[in-house]
Structures are given as structure tokens and as C-alpha cells.
């Protein structure tokens, strides 16, 4: 268990080092600990070591963990594909849904909120194996529709490039996501600019930070291999 506190320190150190080489402020980076497949005791251990934001990929697993950990002030991010019929159950539990790729899902989420819910649009960069995410061509229209939807607050973009053992292969996707955010922002008034780029996982987050990530989603480097 002490291992998790040690891993967390190490990841935080790597984030600071990546920021330092990129000339960025580490305060700009939110570390989301992706705890899917991990038991609640492990989340408690990470919390005790100072971690606050956690990511879950499955609605049922999230609901069970949020209930079991209701005594802790955790910030939950939904990082898996969100089925439309699960949106209403997820909405009251999370601070952020990172994987929006359809206006209908966002409308379902918005209905169940009193305070606006942060959302990110998942973008499918070229060659991604996953079926989730909008194409870069579809992005502007979805972003515009989401910006005017009450109950949610569009914060930025997320991507999940295919796993490649060579992390430098993720760089073009991260770069493209940052460019897409710039493109959206070029059409928005300064007060409405989108700030967040969720990109980078255990094996490639340093490169994501170099390309402008503000949210890194890290599982294995904190918790070890998933069962």
C-alpha cells in the first residue's frame, strides 16, 4: 500500500520535470488517477497520499465506488465511453465527463444537474482504433451545439491515441488535438476560450505535457497493472 504513495510522488515528480522542460507551470496540470479495476481501499490510499481527482470508465463501477467513498471529497472524472442510457446515473456523481461525442448524451447529462457539469469532447484523431469520439471534421459543429447547452460547461478536448510502445508515436495526435483546440478558440471571444486538453497516459504523459496537456489520465504508473 505504501507503494501507491511512492508511485504518486514519482508521477508528480515526472510531471514537474516535464513541465520544466516544456517551460510550463506544473499548476496548469491536473493529474487524474484512473482507478478503473482498482478496489476502493486503493483509492483511499491514494487519497491519503494527497490525490483528489479519480477517473472511472464504467457507470456501475463508478456508482459503487462513489457510494463507498462518499465520506471523501473526491473529484470524479468519467473517462470511459458513456452510453446515453447511463448518462442520467453518472451526471450527479462526477465533476467532469471527458468523453462526450454526441449532443444527445450531453443533453441527458444536463437534465440531471443543478450546477453545470464540466465536459470535454473526445476527438478521434486519424487512425484511432476506438469507435468513440468525433472526427476533427465533426468537431466544430458539436462544440458550437455544446457551448449553448445549459447545464453543462464545455472545457476542452480529450483524445486517446492507440497504444504504441514507443511513446513518441503519440506526439502527432497530441499535437493535432492542441491545434484543434486553437482552431476552436480562434472563433471564440476571449472570455469564452476553451482551456483544457486531456491527453497522455502512463507511458506517454510527458510528451502530452510537452504538447500542451492540462489533464493527464494515469492508471498503471500509480496503481500497477490492472487485474
Ligand X SMILES: *Cc1c(COP(=O)(O)O)cnc(C)c1O
**What's the closest the beta carbon of residue 216 comes to ligand X, in angstroms?**
9
User: Looking at beta carbons, which residue is closest to ligand X?
Assistant: 219
* Closest residue by Cα to residue 33 from 5, 68, 59: 5
Judged by CB under 6 A, does residue 201 bind ligand X? Answer: yes
Instruction: Report yes or no: 34 and 203 within 8 Å, Cβ to Cβ.
Output: no
Q: Which three cell numbers stand for residue 172?
A: 502527432
Instruction: Report yes or no: 72 and 54 within 8 Å, Cβ to Cβ.
Output: no
Judged by CB under 6 A, does residue 159 bind ligand X? Answer: no
Judged by CB under 6 A, does residue 7 bind ligand X? Answer: no
SS3 30: strand
Judged by CB under 6 A, does residue 219 bind ligand X? Answer: yes
The upper half-sphere exposure of residue 9, i.e. CA atoms within 13 Å in the direction of its Cβ, equals 7
Judged by CB under 6 A, does residue 38 bind ligand X? Answer: no
**Quick one: 95 or 220, whose CB is closer to ligand X?**
220
**Quick one: 4 or 141, whose CB is closer to ligand X?**
4
Task: Provide, for the chain, the percentages of residues in helix, strand and coil under a 3-state DSSP scheme, each rounded to the nearest 5.
Answer: 45, 20, 35
**What's the closest the beta carbon of residue 114 comes to ligand X, in angstroms?**
27
**Quick one: 147 or 203, whose CB is closer to ligand X?**
203
Phi, psi of 169 (to 5 degrees): -70, -15
Judged by CB under 6 A, does residue 57 bind ligand X? Answer: yes
In angstroms, the CA 217 to CA 115 distance is 24
10 Å CB burial of residue 114 (0-12, 13-18, 19+) is exposed
How many of the chain's residues bind ligand X (CB under 6 A)? 12
Judged by CB under 6 A, does residue 160 bind ligand X? Answer: yes
**Quick one: 82 or 201, whose CB is closer to ligand X?**
201
Q: Which three cell numbers stand for residue 12?
A: 508528480
Q: How far is CA 31 from the centre of its chain?
A: 9
Judged by CB under 6 A, does residue 218 bind ligand X? Answer: yes
SS3 125: coil
Of residues 34, 43, 91, 100, which one binds ligand X by CB under 6 A? 34
**Quick one: 109 or 222, whose CB is closer to ligand X?**
222
**What's the closest the beta carbon of residue 190 comes to ligand X, in angstroms?**
30
**Quick one: 24 or 217, whose CB is closer to ligand X?**
217
The residues in 82-141 that bind ligand X, with binding defined as CB under 6 A, are none
Would you tell me which residues interact with ligand X (CB under 6 A)?
Answer: 34, 36, 57, 79, 160, 201-202, 217-221
Amino acid at each position: 500500500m505504501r507503494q501507491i504513495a511512492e508511485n504518486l510522488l514519482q508521477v508528480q515528480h515526472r510531471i514537474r520535470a516535464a513541465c520544466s522542460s516544456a517551460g510550463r507551470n506544473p499548476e496548469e496540470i491536473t493529474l487524474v488517477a484512473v482507478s478503473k479495476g482498482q478496489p476502493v481501499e486503493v483509492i483511499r490510499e491514494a487519497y491519503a497520499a494527497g490525490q483528489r481527482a479519480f477517473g472511472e470508465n464504467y457507470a456501475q463501477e463508478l456508482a459503487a465506488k462513489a457510494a463507498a467513498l462518499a465520506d471523501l471529497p473526491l473529484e470524479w472524472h468519467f473517462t470511459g465511453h458513456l452510453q446515453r442510457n447511463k448518462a442520467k446515473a453518472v451526471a450527479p456523481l462526477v465533476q467532469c465527463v471527458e468523453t462526450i461525442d454526441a449532443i444527445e448524451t450531453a443533453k441527458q447529462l444536463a437534465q440531471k444537474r443543478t450546477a453545470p457539469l464540466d465536459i470535454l469532447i473526445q476527438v478521434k484523431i486519424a487512425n484511432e482504433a476506438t469507435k468513440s469520439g468525433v472526427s476533427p471534421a465533426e468537431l466544430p459543429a458539436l462544440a458550437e451545439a455544446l457551448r449553448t447547452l445549459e447545464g453543462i460547461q464545455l472545457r476542452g478536448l480529450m483524445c486517446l491515441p492507440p497504444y504504441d510502445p514507443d511513446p513518441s508515436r503519440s506526439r502527432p495526435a497530441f499535437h493535432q488535438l492542441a491545434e484543434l483546440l486553437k482552431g476552436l478558440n480562434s472563433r471564440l471571444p476571449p472570455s469564452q476560450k476553451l482551456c483544457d486538453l486531456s491527453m497522455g497516459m502512463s507511458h506517454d504523459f510527458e510528451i502530452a505535457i510537452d504538447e500542451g496537456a492540462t489533464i493527464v489520465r494515469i492508471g498503471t504508473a500509480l496503481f500497477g497493472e490492472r487485474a
